[in-house]
Each structure stands twice: as structure tokens, then as C-alpha cells.
A and B are shown apart, each in its own frame.
Chain A
């Protein structure tokens, strides 16, 4: 209850956003960060061509936008949609991953809100 939303519009783009996947602590450790990049890149490749992958890292004394989110640029909207469905609901390090999309223009402008 409360988690089921009424039919609302999902506007898929080539930019898949993965939520609830990484924490600030995971991203601070450099080895851990490299492993996380590998794990996500490997998994996403199964669903299409990954053009780029961005995982914002926290910086001391700075509020970095998008920390805690993972942004994956696929070569097509179809691949992003396949990945969104396949990965959404899967666990990553014990947390349930949720998918979303970001406008391409925002992604390329670095607006990782």
C-alpha cells in the first residue's frame, strides 16, 4: 500500500537512472567504487550498448548533485527500457534497485538532479 502509484507517465529516454543502488560510503572507497563501476557496466552490457556511465562521487564540503544515483547512457531507448525493466527490482549489495529516466539534454549538461 502506498507503493503502488496510479498510472502515471513514464517517458523513457536513452539515459537510465538507477536509484537506491549506491550509498555515499560505497562511493568514497576507491576500490569499492571501481568494483561498483565494473559490476554495473557488466550487467548493463547484457541489455544493449553502453555509451557512457556516470556515478557521481561525494566530495568533502561540496554538495555534488546526483550522489547516490547511477546514470547509464545506452545507444537506444529500447535498450534503456529493457535494462530498466530487468534491473528494477533486482537487489544490488542487498538494496532494491529502482529505475528511472533522465532527459538527454540534462544528462549532457551534467544536471544530475
Chain B
């Protein structure tokens, strides 16, 4: 709740350290002799691996404590009264979109890149 009329800000830093928990076998301090292209590929690879891990395990990194989460959007329900934009759904979509974007950039930088086996590009809407 607001205190003394001032908005209490929440840091964008998360509590978990992905590398410490060995969730992805990533090196988190980079060598100095990487070229900008190598650096770019490394970051893309990391984003893809991170999204893969989260989509596979369902660990989306949001807190169980509502006071530590950002406010949820207005609920959207389907015809049977089932909520569509659940937290799980929103986070899954966020990481699927992020993975898609990273994979597309990676393919541009490295045409030989092999996409993750469970990756399906989103269905493109046909437009005239």
C-alpha cells in the first residue's frame, strides 16, 4: 500500500541466481577477448536456453508472495467462465515470444544454427 503518498518501488532485480542454481550451465562472467558477434551469439543462446528451461519446468520465476509481484491485468474469461489470461499463461507466452525472437535473431547471425527440438514457430497470420 502507498506510504506517505509515495509510490514504493520494487526493484527489477530478481532474488534467484540462475547460474548458482545450475539451472542453465551458463558462464555469467564473459572472457574479455570475445568479439561483439560472439558476445551477441552468446547472449542469444543464453536467452534461448533460459526460455527452454522455464517452458520445460514451468519455473517462471514469479514470487508466491502477491506483495512481491507486479499487479495482474484485468482478468479475461472465455464463454464457460474460465479465466484465459492466468499468470501461468501470461508467463508462458512471454517466454515463448522471447524465445521466438531470440531464435529468429540467431538464425540471422548463424544460418547453421539448429533450433531447439521442441520449438515451433508461431503460426503466421495470413495478410494480403
Report A's interface with B, CB cutoff 8 A: 1-5, 8-11, 19-20, 35-36, 38-39, 42-43, 84-85, 88-101, 113
B57 to nearest A CB, angstroms? 15
Tell me, in angstroms, the Cα distance from A52 to B26 when the chains sit together.
28
Interface residues in B, total, Cβ within 8 A:
32
Tell me, in angstroms, the Cα distance from A19 to B19 when the chains sit together.
15
9 shortest interchain CB distances as A-B pairs: A89-B19, A88-B28, A91-B14, A8-B31, A89-B28, A93-B12, A100-B30, A11-B32, A89-B17
Q: Are B31 and A91 in contact (CB under 8 A)?
A: no
Q: Are B27 and A91 in contact (CB under 8 A)?
A: no
* A39 contacts across to B, CB distance below 8 A: 9, 11-13
Q: Name the contact of A19 in the complex, choosing from B13, B30, B61 (C-beta under 8 A).
A: B30
* A95 contacts across to B, CB distance below 8 A: 47, 50
Q: Are B14 and A90 in contact (CB under 8 A)?
A: yes
* A2 contacts across to B, CB distance below 8 A: 45
Tell me, in angstroms, the Cα distance from A90 to B17 when the chains sit together.
4
Q: Name the contact of B32 in the complex, choosing from A9, A91, A96 (C-beta under 8 A).
A: A9
How many residue pairs link A and B with beta carbons under 8 A? The number is 99
Q: Are B32 and A10 in contact (CB under 8 A)?
A: yes
* A10 contacts across to B, CB distance below 8 A: 29-32
Q: Are A42 and B11 in contact (CB under 8 A)?
A: yes
- Name 5 interchain pairs, CB-CB below 8 A, sorted by A: A5-B31, A39-B13, A93-B12, A94-B61, A99-B28
Report B's interface with A, CB cutoff 8 A: 9, 11-14, 16-20, 24-34, 36, 39, 42-43, 45-47, 49-50, 61, 94
Closest to A43 in B: B13
A92 with B13, Cβ < 8 A, contacts A3-B24, A3-B25, A98-B46 known? yes
Tell me, in angstroms, the Cα distance from A1 to B46 when the chains sit together.
11
